[in-house]
Amino acid sequence: MNAVASRSRRSVLAVPASNPRFIEKARGLDVDAFFLDLEDAVAPLEKEKARHNAVAALTEGGWDGKVRTVRVNDATTAWAYRDVITVVEGAGAHLDCLVLPKVTDPAHVHWLDTLLTQVERAVGLEQGRIGIEVQIEDARGLTRINEIAAASPRVETLVYGPADFMASINMKTLTVGEQPPGYDVGDAYHYVLMRILLAARAHDLQAIDGPYLKIRDVDGFTRAARRTAALGFDGKWVLHPGQVTAANEVYAPTQEDYDHAELVLDAYEHATTVQRRGAVMLGDEMLDEASRKMALVVAAKGRAAGM
């Protein structure tokens, strides 16, 4: 796992950049990552001000090791290019990634990659350091997800955007993150989530689940998070301080699983190097190379979470 892929993103906090009070509050929260939103949480007449708030918030600092990102408007809007230029010229050295929403075409990613390179050159930033987090939010984006995932080495994560996605496929519900009423034969999002997860893994990217909008229902949030964590997702957006602890717990391995994974790695290393054996017993469990790979996933998530 490379350094980027090992960044912890169990909890990714959405912060409207138009709201200085929320920005201030975000600094004190124990989230792994945050994005200052210039897109759907910001009214058109506030976009300009939000850009400047984002620049000020990043350059002032106080973000304590969190992954620092800004969500720009999508590549088909009139706001997008100025979002990128203002934020990266003003605060590029204090920015880890840009979140690009509503990506339906690899050309959107090529556009952002090129523009980032231009601004990096213009202001003397290290080339290629700023990553891209791609939001997959509709049927067109999902059908082209593999091309999108491969569109630039800057892409670090594929992020599911359930609200836009549900609207785009005419899903018969208004509750984002919950199962649609009437569908009682499993998880209505399973196919979409698996497509995103597989594309992410096929391209060495992280897979991040989107928001759960009933912010006071922490049990509902936890239930939804557990499903994607069980599949293999790396984290989930959080919209409210009440969701943070649940996200950090659900997307990290349990201490018991983490300790066991480290034990498996040690035992298997010893078996292959000292004993020259490809399969070995650890207690009642038989370990082979595939066990090592599974243990490595759990250990890497635990290490990234500081266990």
Q: Which residues are annotated as a binding site for substrate?
A: 71, 137
Number of residues that bind ligand GLV (CB under 6 A): 9
Strand partners, 53: none
Contact in structure between 100 and 132 (CB atoms under 8 Å): yes
Residue 294's CB is within 10 A of a number of other CB atoms, namely 12
Minimum CB separation from Mg ion for residue 222, in Å?
22
**Contact track, Mg ion, 160-179, x by CB under 5 A:** -x--x---------------
Quote the CA–CA distance of 259 and 142 in Å, as a whole number: 37
* 246 CA to centre of own chain: 16
210 touches, from ligand GLV, Mg ion, none (C-beta below 5 to 8 Å by class): ligand GLV
Size of the site for Mg ion (CB under 5 A): 3
Q: Which residues are annotated as a binding site for Mg(2+)?
A: 137, 164
CA torsion sign, 159 to 165 to 171 to 173? positive
Q: Residues at the annotated binding site?
A: 71, 137, 164
Instruction: Give whichever of 133 and 137 is closer to Mg ion, judged by the CB atom.
Output: 137
83 lies in the binding site for Mg ion (CB under 5 A)? no
Tell me whether residue 32 or residue 164 sits nearer to ligand GLV (CB atom).
Answer: 164
Asked if 253 and 246 count as a contact pair (C-beta separation under 8 A), the reply is no
Task: Give backbone dihedrals phi and psi of 86, rounded to 5 degrees, phi first.
Answer: -65, -45
Cα distances from 276 to residues 187, 223, 234, 290, in angstroms, run 44, 44, 34, 16
Q: What's the burial of 102, exposed, middle or buried (CB within 10 Å: 0-12/13-18/19+)?
A: buried
In whole angstroms, the minimum distance from the beta carbon of 132 to ligand GLV comes to 15
Pairing of strands 280-282, 285-287: antiparallel
**By CB under 5 A, is residue 37 in contact with Mg ion?**
no
**Candidate segments 114-122, 147-155, 158-166, 292-300, binder of ligand GLV by CB under 6 A:** 158-166
Q: Identify residues 229-288 at the interface with ligand GLV (CB under 6 A).
A: none
Helix (H, G, I), strand (E, B) or coil at 230: helix
Stretch that binds ligand GLV, among 77-85, 107-115, 156-164, 246-254 (CB under 6 A): 156-164
The residues binding Mg ion (CB under 5 A) are 137, 161, 164
Which residues contact ligand GLV by CB under 6 A?
101, 135, 137, 161-164, 210-211
